[in-house]
Amino acid sequence: MISSLRPSSRDAIIQAAFELLASDTGVSLADIATRAGVGRATLHRYFSSRDDLFFALAKAAIHDMDDAVEAACKDCSSHSDALYQSLKALVPLGDRYRFLANDTLEEHPDLQADYERQERETVGLVDAAKGEGLFDQAVPTSWIVQSFEHLLYAAWESVTAQQCTPDQATDLAWRTLTNGLGAPS
């Protein structure tokens, strides 16, 4: 039996939607279908409306991010290392992160709860890393979390623009997060 390397039509539609929505939130379903290499009828067979597609994208984004972070952190010896590994795992998923950050999840309480859980987990990880001495205790955790999120997005954008590799972007984001932008003393 020969296995196909081509993703399923549904998976191709989801990937195409993430790619296109990363640069244009108003992209049409027809454009998504074209990028996915399927017809509009095929897209509508899987997703009857834009809302249905966005719901599936939010579920996929949460799932992909959870899986990536869990796999990256399974053997970490410290919270600080887990925070770094989380960043490294999430940089390639910046399109998913951006989608969740920009999408209105209030209409879907289960998805909103999962998104809020991810935020709480990040706060907990930052607090634990702070307790290990990675961050200055005087810096509010909320500031560190927002910095982490913005640097994640900046790293993903740099990779997307082909300005650096995912590893380079991760290292630059980590260096900025943990050392700031000042010259070494």
Stretch among 2-6, 56-60, 150-154 having the lowest mean pLDDT: 2-6
Q: What is the DSSP letter of 164?
A: S
Question: b/e for 103-113, b at 16 or more Cβ within 10 A?
Answer: bebeebeebee
Digit-coded pLDDT (tens) for 88-102: 999 999 888 877 777
Tokens linked to 78: 């410290």
Tokens linked to 140: 């509010």
- Give the whole-number percent of the chain exceeding pLDDT 90: 70
**pLDDT of residue 80 exceeding 60:** yes
Of 16-20, 22-26, 100-104, highest mean pLDDT = 16-20
Q: How many CA atoms lie within 13 A of 5 on its CB side?
A: 0
Per-residue model confidence (pLDDT) at position 111 = 86
Rg of the chain taking only CA atoms, in angstroms: 18
User: 78: helix, coil or strand?
Assistant: coil
Report the predicted TM-score, pTM, of the whole model to 2 decimal places. 0.85
Candidates 124, 173, 179; CA nearest to 152 is 173
CA dist., res. 91 & res. 69, Å (int): 11
